[in-house]
Amino acid sequence: MRTPLLLPPASLKLSTGARIALQLPGSIQGTVIDDAGMAVSKALVYAFPEQVTSRQIQATADQQGRFVFKGLPTGRVYLVAFRKSDAFAGNFFAFFNHTFQNFSSIEVKTGRVFPDVVINLGHNLPRLTIDLVDENGTSVRRPMAMVFTRDDMPGDYRQATAGPYSMLVPCVPFMFSVEVEGCQLWRSERIVLQPGETLEIPVKLQMK
């Protein structure tokens, strides 16, 4: 659920959490919003220290989209947030072209609180729903390999899953294929989806 963003007045004193954070190596407070400036409640927020980007520090935004990281290591820290139930993707599947250049970054310093960090998740992503069906149109639950290509990026992007399957996709032209053991390769046409749109595709399996 998204609620109107309520920003505190500049004269408001730091919260108890912020005063405690001052005693720690470094802390960040901020808000997660969407493209319309509305708070994204219960969004998951990750902090990645630049020196050890494999280390994930997680926080959960409250009903007003506010989040707090306490005791962060000094140095540059990258922030990313998502909430899949509201169609804001947060996985690091290369098909989304996630790089640290797309993340918010903060230079954390000892004893300092950054209280006004805003993470803008942009617009709601479209959703692609795929259902494997046999020649009679009956749903089939089988493992499949999906291979995606984007018009604006070289190479392909693979994901193994099982049908039926639903996933968020970027708002760029793309195509995909489905490989199921013992069946002929299935290929989609070129697809372009708008923010918040849902496309359901039945993949009709043909035996080899």
Judge whether residue 9 has pLDDT over 80: no
Give the phi and the psi of residue 107 in degrees, each rounded to 5. -90, 105
Q: Which among 57, 47, 51 has a CA at the least distance from the CA of 80?
A: 47
What was the pLDDT predicted at 1? Answer: 47
Burial zone of 176 (CB within 10 Å; 0-12 exposed, 13-18 middle, 19+ buried): buried
What was the pLDDT predicted at 17? Answer: 44
Residue 97 sits in a domain of what CATH number?
2.60.40.10
Domain hosting residue 105, numbered range: 2-120
Judge whether residue 20 has pLDDT over 60: no
Is 137 found in the same domain as 77? no
Residue 181 sits in a domain of what CATH number?
2.60.40.1120
Give the phi and the psi of residue 122 in degrees, each rounded to 5. 75, -150
What is the domain count for the chain?
Answer: 2
What was the pLDDT predicted at 28? Answer: 92
Mean pLDDT over the full length of the chain: 82
Token pair listed for 89: 């993707």
Is 107 found in the same domain as 6? yes
Across 25-46, average pLDDT:
91
Domain termination residue (choose one: 120, 136, 151):
120
Is 112 found in the same domain as 82? yes
Is 89 found in the same domain as 57? yes
Return the half-sphere exposure (C-beta side, CA atoms, 13 A cut-off) of residue 165. 17
Is 149 found in the same domain as 91? no
Domain termination residue (choose one: 120, 143, 170):
120
Confidence of residue 39 (pLDDT cuts 50, 70, 90): very high
Judge whether residue 186 has pLDDT over 60: yes
Contact (CB, 8 A) for 45 and 28:
no
Domain termination residue (choose one: 120, 147, 181):
120
Contact (CB, 8 A) for 165 and 192:
no
What are the pLDDT digits (tens) for 125-151? 899 999 999 888 888 899 999 999 998
Q: Is the dihedral of CA 80, 82, 87, 89 positive or negative?
A: positive
pTM of the model: 0.68
What was the pLDDT predicted at 102? Answer: 56
Confidence of residue 53 (pLDDT cuts 50, 70, 90): low
Query: Measured between alpha carbons, how far is 194 from 173 in angstroms, rounded to an integer?
Result: 10
Is 103 found in the same domain as 10? yes
Task: Give the single-character DSSP code of 13.
Answer: P
Across 101-113, average pLDDT:
79
Is 83 found in the same domain as 182? no
Contact (CB, 8 A) for 201 and 165:
no
Judge whether residue 14 has pLDDT over 60: no
What are the pLDDT digits (tens) for 115-128? 889 998 888 889 99
Is 85 found in the same domain as 30? yes
What was the pLDDT predicted at 98? Answer: 54
Query: Measured between alpha carbons, how far is 197 from 208 in angstroms, rounded to an integer?
Result: 34
Judge whether residue 176 has pLDDT over 90: yes
Across 90-104, average pLDDT:
61
Judge whether residue 90 has pLDDT over 60: yes
Percent of the chain at pLDDT > 70 equals: 82
Q: Which among 123, 107, 104 has a CA at the least distance from the CA of 172?
A: 123
